[in-house]
Chain A
Amino acid sequence: MKRLYKFFFLLFLVPVSCSKHLDVEPTSAITNNSFWKTENDATGALYGMYFKLLKESNTGNFYYLGEARSEIMTSSIGGTNGYERYYQQSLSPTTPGPNWIGLYSIINAANLILKHVPDINFVNPANKNAILAQAYTMRAYIYFVLVRTWGDVPLRLEPIEEYDPVTVQFGKSSAQDVFKQIKNDLAEAIKSFPDNNIPSGRYIWSLPGANALKADVYLWTGKQQGGGNADFTIALSALNAVQTADVQLLPKFSDIFEYTNKGNKEVIMVIKSLLIESGDNFYANMYLQTTNIPSNVTQGTKDTIGVGGGQNIWSPTAAVRAQFTSDDQRKFGTFYEIQRTTNPSYYATLAMKGRGTISGGLRFFVNDVVIYRYADILLMKAEAKNALSQDPTAEMNLVRQRAYGTNFPAHQFVNGSQAANDDAILKERLLELMLEGKRWWDEVRFNKAFELVPALNVRPGDKNFLLFPIGSDVLSLEPKVTQNTGW
């Protein structure tokens, strides 16, 4: 019997040996140990980075940051959805703009590529360089969005691959340092792109895309960071480089945005949306739900609206709509005013640039979202030339010729003073690029925000409004990040 007790005693004490049964291999999951080994991994991760860009774009965040605070939008019949804080400039730390988590998620995807892809063997090194170049361009682009929005921001250049409660916290870097990084990344990217081609579909970064971004960045630092003529010169040469690529203006303005005309030669870089795959983008909130299509409108109006979809949460203001002349083909290409047959007749305005496509009786908002297109390049070039006291007439007239067609002679650009030219260029950018997420940044870059945005007009002293406040939801999780001055 005593032996029996010994036996039990042994059982009692014996620890489980580290059994091999506990080493279970995943079947349907990729773990950190198994990833970053092959070229396929790199390609998958590359599209993962764009996938995040698409998700961030669909939420409307790029639009909220780049345009929503301008004079373009106002409330419409579908409620306000909290958008009034943008166009009424009622942002505050507790009702801030978008959280920056989605932007940093794209940066993290780029950082992962930049860290791991150099160690992967590629059959063709050019493919590796192309992937790295895209990651650099993407990181530069997102930091450019961040720095224009919040000024000083955390500058994270290493991916997050582990968790440590202390080191995971990051303080802010100065806007100057962020721009320095952006410019370095762009230099790396431009060096690495294997050629000047824009890959078919035009939905990934290319050398012309990087050059367009570079021009955009240098125009900004030239005007906002004291870079002056040196930066304008760099911007101008980057724009000249873009013009050597396969790009042109499409004769018909609305063709640029048609679902059936994706990847056309006017665009340089778009965020691509596909039916089924991508989900609706932010233009859904600029159209009209079927149930809200009024009964008292003409058949022509009904036909133009077609199948309803989305919600008319906001639409262009009367003041902005009034700036379009009726002979400007960009008017109908950009928006459509619904008039009723009863009094009052004005009902709402629909965004035509992003009205998507119809499938199965439903409207899907799956237009590509344009980041850069040729008309933008021409107008940036006009801006750079004017800043360097050169004549911007050629570029301005190219844009206007397309817009007014046979009526162009009545709308010819005439070179004037530098200030008058700037005003004309900024207005041309409104007419050309409205609803493409650029207006607020244009106004800040031209130092015209307080002049042109009615809600800022009345509070000229509040310079902090040029940046966004950092949300208290962000601050509560980032003790090392401080609020922007004035908020």
Chain B
Amino acid sequence: MKEVSTGDLLHAFPKIKITKLYRRRQSFILLVLLQGFSMHVFAQQTIKGLVKDESGNALPGVTVTVKGQPIITKTDLDGTYSIKVPALKSVLVFTSVGFGEREVVVNDWNPVQVALKGKASALNDVVVVGYGKNTRELLTTSISKLDTKVLENIPYANATSALQGSIAGLRVQTGSGQPGDAPRVILRGGTSINNPNGATPLYIIDGITRANMNDIAADDIESLQVLKDAAATSIYGSRGSDGVIIITTKTGKAGKTVISYSYDLTLSKKGHTMEYADTKDYIEQARLSVVAIAKKNPAAISKLQDKTGYGTGNDLSNSTPYTTQYLTAANQHKLNEGWESMPDPVDPTKTIIYKSTNFADLLYRTAISNNHYLSVSGGTEKATFNIGAGYLTSEGVAISTDYKRLTLNMNGSLKVSNNVEVTGRILYASTNNAAAASLANTFYRGTSLPGSTKYAFEDGTIAPGQNSSIGNPDYFLKGPYAQQGANSYDNISISLASHVNILPGLTFDPQVSMYKARSDRYDFIPTSMRNGVGTLVTSRIATSSYAKTTQYEASGVLNYKKTFARVHNLSVKAGGSYFKRQNYGFNATGQGASTDLIPTLNASATATLVNGSVSDLVIEGLFSGIDYNYDGRYILSVTTRYDGSSNLGEEHKLGFFPGVSVGWNMHKEKFWSVVPGFISNFKLRASYGVNGKTSGLGDFQAQGDYSVSTSGVANAYAGNAAIISNIIPNPNLKWEQSQTKDIGFDLGLFNRRINFMFDYYDRVTKDLLTSVSLPASTGFSTVLTNLGSLGNKGVEIDLSAALLSPSSALQWTVGFNYGTVKSKILKLPFNGVANNRIGGVLVYDPSVKDYRYLGGLQEGGKVGDYYAYKQIGIYATDEEAAKGPKDMVIGLTDKTKYGGDAAFLDVDNNGIIDDRDRIYLGNPNPTWNGGFSNTLEYKNLFFIIRTDFTGGHTIYNYPAVFADGQLQGDALPTKEYLAKAWKKQGDITDAPRYLWQNQQQNFRPQSSYYQKGDFLCIREVTLGYSLPAKLLERFKIKGIRLNLTGNNLYYFTAYKGNVPEDAETVMDNGHYPIPRNFIFGAKISF
């Protein structure tokens, strides 16, 4: 690969055009420079200044006029203005909706700074848009801004979590309680048919493109906005279709240097987890279940004497993994050592003894986390700086899991001259973590280890449980037999930016940046009984890996702003951007070390895997935008972008992405006076835009792939390197294109104490970059292609209200947001099948009284629908079961069903249960979500309660099926199930009998384990107190703020598994439970 040279960067811009202009117009550039440095010539008549609100926030959009003169201007987004004043003693008039008017007499030519009475309202809020800023009042696109209050009280190990329930239309699902893990973020349902969970937004952090916002300290975040509709994101063109999240980090402000330090102490306990049956109940029911299956399979009766959790083939030696055994003279002393006894339910004349251990309890702990953050910031009118340093250590509630993070945010700005400001930024993060190697093994297999398993052998050494996949957590997760290793991850972004005032109203903003993220890790599996008691596995597998992403970006934006005839406000921008990314990776695995002393590769005798790769991507684009408004009343905004991407098909590398939006501030019309007074403002807005996406597309996928390795392992046959045709080339691959229509309104009531935003969107994504299933006889399962189209529609509501009068000492603000999404597959490529269906299941469809293929991908359908059997009851008796339909799903020749077996719905009513009797049982993708928050402030006290909710998704609770169906053959069922399971003839219940290894297929994928995931979570409850300023003055302390916070306190949900938030695509396959956090936080500033 080549390094980026200046020449390369310049190529990204249309320099030819500039050159031509330069030649024709004497010296345009020179003129620009001269203008820049000779501004003071005109300054004698110009007054500059700053307008703020009472609390010191800069006020944009304030009208400034010279009394009695046709001179008018408005304050900028940073609250500054400049106005030509004809003479001293002129009067400046400052007006803004919602604020008191102010007049100031100009006595000298010094800057005039004023404060207007009233508080900045939502309308004056400055919103960061693509390559610029705007006020809420003039915004015509759908952009949500995060209320940064949600960042204040919880020391997020991953700040992405703060978005949960905070932004209408943004689905944020926490699927894991592992500290540092990112929740899933999907905007407006995403734009993918194949991988609905992979449609992640584009993140722009201080102008630098990133794949996520992991490892950013919440304390470093100044503002976060989510660009939702295509008109807002089309300026990001090819990567904007799943939404754009723009984050700016904190910078210094002119004024006194502020030093502040904050500390949070968090105690975490596991949240909801599945509870498993007691040892005694397990032994009893499992033994009876063996007798039950012996009815069909007489040989199975011998299982009673196997060395299993319920079998009596165990002894006190080190060669059996369980304690369960018959009481004998030789072992009866164990009853004095905490062992328990019970009569054998199969032969009550015999006594079984066992030692009970709760292995699930061994997995969890009370975890402690610490978060420190120190910031120093300040500056003068000429230069500002900010340094923020954070250190977080976060323990997971599961043993041996944690996350540590060191962050540094350093930036400074210098006004080189009146017209040139230079900014440099460094954002750095270094993390390492320890996470569960396998979610399934740790969070539902290991926890279902029978309680009768030996925790330790007779000699006191720790025992492994069944094996590493369903093992003793203390054996496999900590101590000498646990997998060892370490990892580190760090990323740094360095950027240089400049802001140049070329002419009045004309500015230029260039930025160059480099982003590097690298990670390394090593792992080692020491000698251990990974395959169960008996054999020590000595292969001592060691792995090492290194990965690096390097990214260079350059962009430049020209901006011109001008007001004509006092009412025509025009702003034009144009620019270009260049993006180059290289991924580099290396990893190796070895084994056969002679010792456990060295956990790294150098001890390995044999290399079993080596792998390395380099891959590049280039994206470049040109963009432009025009914003026009007539007196703030009628607003028009147009943006366009051309993008080119190196990973697309030869003839399809370029794409054009336009966006247009309009708005009408009706409250500025004269007729508004007839509207009842309590309606303070009303804006109608509408937008349309197109944007694209290539995510999921490999860098060279379009050209096909002959691969030399599979999942990182070299392809080889008998020691000969093997090359296989792996990906079919598709030179026709092009941009996936989303078209979004959005209409909405912003409404303010009661002098804007209540602000209401509404959006309706309709997004159609065409030419989806999607893997289409191929006929099996091609030898390929899929090919990536531009396939069909997907429609998402929905509404979003965002409400904020100050319920009490501004004069009240008690302040109560309420925030509510809600978003829905309805997805539909609109079109698929023609393949000769009804609805151009791909995949699906053949089932009986009562609506057409015939067999049809449902599910899969088909026009008019949804992505991901579940089809499974409907359990309609449990046969109370053998006689009742005999009358039921014949069940073909039972794998044995003898299909007889008995009392306690599940009765399934015979959809086609043909007297036979087979897989055509499956019905629709839901969909894994949520369709609605939102949040509700309350903040109460009284003097120095504040109280916050924040909830969020998500619904419409169904989760296949496989961990419960695994346990209750005894799929593994020797694992604990859940406590709730075993209590209500059918046990004897005549029992009326809704839970089938307990049987070894699902012999009667009662636990086939069936309705009782497809559970609704709808939930409401009490996400945050905070009680806080700021010490009175007067008290602190004596100690030269600016402020002290204390808070007590509860986080993830409770989920209201019907889902019985560990985490109700994440259905994944097929099933719950193990989730780290979400911890309940109790936080004490303190912040002190000087």
Contact = CB atoms under 8 A, between A and B. Distances in A.
A94 B775 contact: no
A37 B622 CA distance: 39
A68 interface: no
A474 B313 CA distance: 45
Contact of B708 (A30, A100, A479): A30
Interface stretch (A13-21, A377-385, A394-402): A13-21
Contact of A163 (B622, B785, B839): B785
A102 B833 CA distance: 24
B707 A30 contact: yes
Interface stretch (B96-104, B137-145, B722-730, B900-908): B722-730
A372 to B, nearest CB: 17
Interface string A416-458: 0000000000000000000000000000000000000001000
A221 interface: no
Interface string A144-179: 000000000110100111110110111000000000
Given A21-B8, A168-B775, A295 B535 contact: no
A308 to B, nearest CB: 7
Contact of A79 (B612, B720, B969): B969
A461 B708 CA distance: 49
Interface in A74-127: 75, 78-80, 82, 84-85, 88, 90, 92, 94-95, 99-109, 112
B654 A163 contact: no
Nearest to B891: A84
Contact of A154 (B777, B829, B840, B997): B777
B704 A32 contact: yes
Contacts of B572: 5, 8
Contacts of B778: 104, 108, 156, 160, 168
B689 interface: no
B320 to A, nearest CB: 6
A308 B535 contact: yes
Which of A14, A22, A294, A455 gathers most chain B CB within 10 Å? A22
Contacts of B722: 44, 47-48, 50-51
Contacts of A476: 837, 839-840, 842, 853, 856
B90 interface: no
Contact of B21 (A7, A472, A478): A7
Given A169-B832, A361-B538, A7 B997 contact: no
Given A50-B718, A94-B915, A29 B781 contact: no
A455 B838 CA distance: 35
Contacts of A160: 728, 774, 778-780
A263 B720 CA distance: 16
B777 A156 contact: yes
B773 A108 contact: no
Given A30-B705, A474-B776, A479-B833, A277 B467 contact: no
B622 A26 contact: no
B615 A28 contact: yes
Nearest to B539: A360
Contacts of B646: 21-24
Interface stretch (B163-171, B298-306, B414-422, B879-887): B298-306
Nearest to B529: A290
Contacts of B725: 45, 48, 108-109, 112, 159
A307 interface: yes
B321 interface: yes
B14 interface: yes
A234 interface: no
Interface in A291-316: 291-296, 307-309
| Among A14, A88, A474, residue most surrounded by chain B Cβ atoms (within 10 Å) | A14
A165 B838 contact: no
A15 B642 contact: yes
A255 to B, nearest CB: 20
A12 B315 CA distance: 83
Interface string B827-841: 001111100011110
Nearest to A54: B717
B319 interface: yes
B779 A105 contact: yes
A477 B842 contact: no
Interface in A25-43: 26-33, 35, 41, 43
B643 A29 contact: no
Contact of A19 (B305, B614, B620, B785): B620
A170 B777 CA distance: 8
A342 interface: yes
A477 B775 contact: yes
A48 B709 CA distance: 10
B937 interface: no
Contacts of A473: 776
Contacts of B540: 360
Interface string B954-982: 00000000000000010000000000000
B539 A359 contact: yes
Contacts of B321: 291
A276 interface: yes
B831 to A, nearest CB: 5
Nearest to A36: B706
B613 A361 contact: no
A21 B579 CA distance: 10
A344 B779 contact: no
Contacts of B8: 21
A354 B429 CA distance: 52
A101 B775 CA distance: 8
Nearest to B28: A3
Nearest to B643: A16
Contact of A31 (B591, B624, B703, B891): B703
Contacts of B621: 16
Nearest to A45: B723
Contacts of B777: 100-101, 104, 153-154, 156, 170, 474, 478, 481
Given A21-B11, A22-B646, A162 B703 contact: no
B871 interface: no
Interface in B758-810: 772-781, 783, 785
Contact of A94 (B622, B647, B833, B842): B842
A4 interface: yes
Interface centre among B17, B572, B888 (most CB of A within 10 A): B572
A275 to B, nearest CB: 9
B17 to A, nearest CB: 5
Contacts of A26: 615, 699-700, 703
Interface in B510-536: 527, 531-536
A52 interface: yes
A166 B830 contact: yes
A487 interface: no
B314 interface: yes
Most buried by A among B608, B615, B707, B779: B779
**Which of B25, B305, B856 is most buried by chain A, counting CB atoms within 10 A of its CB?**
B305
A274 interface: yes
Interface of A: 3-5, 7-8, 10-12, 14-16, 18-19, 21-24, 26-33, 35, 41, 43-45, 47-48, 50-54, 75, 78-80, 82, 84-85, 88, 90, 92, 94-95, 99-109, 112, 153-154, 156, 159-163, 165-166, 168-170, 201, 203, 272, 274, 276-277, 289-296, 307-309, 340, 342, 344, 346-347, 359-362, 455, 472-474, 476-481
A-B pairs with lowest CB-CB distance, top 10 = A360-B539, A105-B779, A44-B723, A31-B703, A32-B704, A51-B722, A108-B779, A28-B613, A291-B532, A101-B776
Given A7-B17, A88-B892, A95-B915, 10 more contacts: A8-B560, A22-B618, A27-B613, A85-B891, A103-B779, A105-B779, A154-B777, A276-B591, A309-B531, A473-B776
25 contacts: A16-B620, A16-B642, A19-B620, A21-B12, A21-B578, A26-B700, A27-B1, A31-B729, A47-B718, A47-B723, A78-B969, A82-B891, A102-B779, A112-B725, A159-B725, A160-B774, A162-B729, A163-B774, A168-B778, A169-B831, A277-B716, A291-B531, A291-B533, A293-B534, A477-B773
